[in-house]
Structure 1
Amino acid sequence: MSHTIADKKKLLSRVRRIKGQSIALEASLEAEPDCMKVLQQIAAIKGAVNGLMKEVLESHLREHLGVEDISPEQRTQEIEQVIAVLKSYLK
């Protein structure tokens, strides 16, 4: 996946922010916080994960399906793979 390698620094930065948010959520739960703060932190993590998914998915679609030189069979296979991932993500 050349697109993930090209965007490696940016993607790792996003993942590290998500990791930091998860650690902060864990610490917050340990301290028995107010429910609204926990809900806000969970919403922030979900938004960050959704943003990461959008970015990687968009790059994947452009790199693998946006090219002209793939066969219809390859295109169908790529589409099925993306659909499978989206189904599991959207459960």
Structure 2
Amino acid sequence: MAHVIRDKKKLLARVRRIAGQVAALEKALDAETECTDILVQAAAAKGAMHALMMEVMSGHLAEHVAGESDEAKRQAEARRLIDLLRGYAR
């Protein structure tokens, strides 16, 4: 079973938390909240998104790279992950 299916409940909980944080950020902007409070809320949303990314990436590494017995598939998955990280780091 793929890690995202196995961890679906936990991952969806993270996504729902992120959605709540983004909704709170939108509400704060609509309410013309102080900029420092906006920055705190934006940082929290970014941190939550980063935590989701790390959770899925950890599962991917464990299952599709380290856990892959076929060398060609393992290298292909490693390359895909490197490409993803390059895009994420921009």
TM-score by length of 1: 0.94
**CA RMSD between the two structures:** 1.1
Give the equivalent residue in structure 2 for 1:83. 82
CA drift of 1:45 comes to 0.5
Identical amino acids, percent of aligned pairs: 49
Structure 1 counterpart of 2:60, one-letter code: H
Aligned length: 90
CA drift of 1:74 comes to 1.4
Tell me the distance in 2 between the aligned counterparts of 1:68 and 1:84.
19
TM-score by length of 2: 0.95
Q: Give runs of ≥4 in structure 1 deviating > 4 Å.
A: none
Verify the 8 A CA contact 2:14 2:48 in the aligned structure 1: yes
- Residue deviations 1:60-90, cap 9 Å, x none? 000011225222x212111110011111111
Tell me the distance in 2 between the aligned counterparts of 1:50 and 1:75.
24
Tell me the distance in 1 between the aligned counterparts of 2:8 and 2:68.
25
- Structure 2 residue runs without a partner (length 5+): none
Tell me the distance in 2 between the aligned counterparts of 1:33 and 1:67.
48
Give the equivalent residue in structure 1 for 2:14. 14
Aligned 1:63-74 pairs, distance under 5 A? 63-67=63-67, 69-71=69-71, 73-74=72-73
Tell me the distance in 2 between the aligned counterparts of 1:68 and 1:80.
14
